[in-house]
Structure 1
Amino acid sequence: AAASTLVFNLANPTTQKAPLILGNNAVIANGVNGTLNVTNGFIQVSDKSFATVKAINIDDGQGFIFNTDATVGNALNLQAGGATINFNGTDGTGRLVLLSKNGAATDFNVTGSLGGNLKGIIAFNTVAVAGQLIANAGPANAVIGTNNGAGRAAGFVVSVDNGNAATIAGQVYAKDMVIQSANAGGQVNFGHIVDVGTDGTTAFKTAASKVAITQNSNFGTTDFGNLAAQITVPDTMTLTGNFTGDANNPGNTAGVITFAANGTLASASADANVAVTNNITAIEASGIGVVQLSGTHTAELRLGNAGSVFKLADGTVINGTVNQTAVVGGALAAGAITLDGSATMTGDIGNGGG
């Protein structure tokens, strides 16, 4: 078949919340010869054949939404066989939305990666049912963006709900990241590196969620948004960022960072005057191991095991209490705090949480 182009340039533009929906009867044939351009509006498709289109091009401020029946194995393959999803324009605001469809958890298998060159906002939504966003080449390969510099996507938005987890099995490089849960208890599992870059941000929104990382990760300037959100860090890993409980109201305290065993919490800022944590609820050492801290922190330190240790680098400042409130999902224990030089601790030290 000859090459053909389908253009969506709606006279009355639609939005992500109210898109133009193409039902199950809208099917693409010979997609390998086709181009689909979204120049004005948000388009939502219901048939998996749209994933076969050779090139999907999304302009600034416009969007394309996959809400399709999965293939065998509940998988939808994106960018397979040389197909590409591209973000045109200059400001990087075109959106690709991946909805895990109600009734069947969906695996979005991606050949190559989505977004890059500081363009493209990719939204992964598992509010209806759990889903996975997977790098076909394996989790040690990028699925969002390509690197933590100019290769980042403009944004990555993960929307979850209690019981409907989002799992990202690939590296994530996006300048601005949003984690939002429709109700408290949503879970986001990152299977490899997450890195927003030197000027990147992370924001928690809507309701409290839990984020689990598996590799060294950089969340950049992070706002917990006055939500009881939690980031968990596995053994030997480093979490980098500058974490604030509520950027809009400095009087609020929110957010917990929990280390499973050994680990490091590091600043993402080259400026030593920028606090690593600012009015977050707590930093937790929940297991046997040494958690290394440096810089300035306004947070409670919690020890959850007799073998838990906080090791404070020379000059560390802790504006907060120690062991006043039980660790999330557990109890306090008489661990230890060690100093590599001098440190300042302003709050009470004691086993107040039981």
Structure 2
Amino acid sequence: MGSGRSHNPEEVLAMGAAVVFAPSPVLTVTIEDLDGEADIHIHAGGQGVWQARMLQALGASVTLCGVFSGETGRVARDLIQQHGIRVLGVEGAGSSGAYIHDRRGGERKELAESRGHRLSRHELDQLYSLTMQAGIAAGTVILSGPAQEGLVPADAYRRLAADLTETGCTVIADLAGDRLTAAVNGGVALVKVSHDELVDSGRAGSTGPEDLIRAMRDLVGEGAATVVVTRADLPSLLLHEDEVHEVHAPSLETVDTRGAGDSLTAGMAAALASGSSVREAVTQGSAAGALNVTRHGLGTGDAETIRQLMGSVRIVPYRGGHQRESAKGTTPDELAKGLRTQ
């Protein structure tokens, strides 16, 4: 893999099909301030939902597989479908998770949360079958985590990864802890994980690059073909075909950091689903993640701005250290304007 810029972003943004395994979507209520008045927003949320929204924004044909239970589940399912995302859902017992957040003070303040119920064996069997059916048809599948611990057994991820890979699917794991270990043991094409998650799970002794790279190589030894590790405001690390690279993305003014990693995963999945290379996928994913921090909506963005931002993503061989090569304090409009004049 050489360094430099992606040569043809338009090709990377071509249409593809992808499936998101999102076992426990949640209903989210967020209170914002609008000129001193409460501005209330109701959305479906959770890792898999945010990934599906970004995939859809990038032009992919998206199917989300999840369990929807009770009133909160029915509302969440309707909201997802309103975004043009195909839903293959299991009608579960109990109720799906939900939360209410207040952002009027500038930071998120949790007012209430309902965690949802642990999936029963019957619900999990149904969801497994739906995911296999959709995954075989699409060819690309993201395995995302549940909203809360204990809702889905880790071994379900191993079985899904193994069976989907056996059928020729490109499997992408955006997981942590036992679920990450299980999925990798099943065999996956790509892992995206944060540096904090590697340390918290005991895979890395610190967030230092050498410790992270050792953990990445361990993941490859266990069954991952490619590993991407995000490092907050530092360049991400990419391990592909036994070579380590740094991924330098533009540092834009931050509104909300939540959802940036999910947008990164979705951007990579959309590119791989359209037949792009790993390098092109990482470039697109990094641009999608960079844009997402500038927005209140998680997993949101527009394909044209992401295409413009891709020209500012640099993938360079890892030489040690962590010097950034990207611009700071740039807005998406400023960066896009600059790129159009180049």
Higher relative contact order (CA 8 A, sep 6+): 2
Q: Please, what TM-score do these two structures have when normalized by structure 1?
A: 0.29
The structure with the largest helix share of the pair is: 2
Structure 2 length normalisation: TM-score?
0.30
Larger Rg belongs to: 1
More strand by share: 1
